Amino acid sequence: MILGGAAVAVGLQLPLVGCSGSTPPSPQTTSPSPPSTLGRQTMGTITTKDGTQIYYKDWGAGPVVALSHGWPLSSDSWESLMYFLATNGYRVIAHDRRGHGRSSQPSEGNEMDTYADDLAELLDRLDVKEVTLIGFSTGGGEVARYIGRHGTKRVRKAGLISAVPPLMLKTDQNPGGIPIEVFDGFRKAQLANRADFYRDVASGPFYGYNRPGAKPSQGLIDFWWLQGMMAGHKNTFECIKAFSETDFTEDLKKFDVPTLIIHGDDDQVVPIDRGGRAASELVKNSKLVVYEGAPHGLTDTHKDRFNADILAFLKA
């Protein structure tokens, strides 16, 4: 989820917020069998009920952490935290959401209910228990909707990082939200030139590189852009509605596990009052940690602090 310079450019006024054998494999052979029959794989795909292939990585051993990424990125955006946790005694699973990264780009299902159901199928197929679910930005919505639809029978803890819940869009019930015209601007910018739109987002508000004195990392900008361009055009277009218009209020009320909420107070993408602070008022047994001066992409700009905070939360 993002509020970027390209939206302003279209006239919107808002702060930039292997198997082998003699017979050919069946279509399902890319889906892992239960661990008891096949054993763990460090990467692979599952095939969901509607035939969508969901790519995932599975690193390390120990208590399980599952990560849900932001829009329009992929599991690669979690690489720093994945490496850090895997080398500190944790099993870390991260998937590419449908339509993103190396997963299928289906025409249908580009909305939060299906995203959450895909996550449920992945966790069920891998048969993980006592998992800590952590979602960044749009991925925070995916985690919230997963708990809202599937409960916490497999969940030990949860984390919402720069996350979109409870609701981004301005409505009569959410008068402090962001006007629909802003998100219409995203759609217009994406249709006009998706490549330029994504470049503007990564080089501007996402990492706070539009702030005075900021020192942009061209490598990080290029990495963000590459992940976005790997995703499907239709999928990422429809995901704009999913992250901006989905109301997660009732999902957050169903959280019954310890929850860590981390948000930067200079988040121009998901303003902290609309995201972290509002979510912390709805989630029981939650802890809000505010990163002063941090942008939306704090998992990279503040990665040492962020990684340490996640490890401490897991150990608590």
Catalytic residue numbers? 137, 267, 296
- H or E segment to which residue 49 belongs: none
Identify the residue whose tokens are 């902290």. 272
Sheet arrangement for strand 131-136: 43-47, 53-59, 91-95, 64-68, 131-136, 155-161, 259-264, 286-291
Those residues whose C-beta lies under 8 Å from the C-beta of residue 129, and which sit 6 or more positions away, are 64, 154
In this structure, the dihedral spanned by the alpha carbons of residues 46, 231, 115 and 91, taken in order and rounded to 10 degrees, is 60
Distance CA 269, CA 295 (A): 8
Minimal CA–CA distance to 71: which of 270, 265, 218?
Answer: 270
The answer to whether the CB of 74 falls within 8 A of the CB of 43 is no
DSSP 279-294: HHHHSTTEEEEEETT-
Distance CA 139, CA 248 (A): 12
Say which residue the tokens 């340490």 belong to: 308
Which DSSP category does 178 fall into?
Answer: B
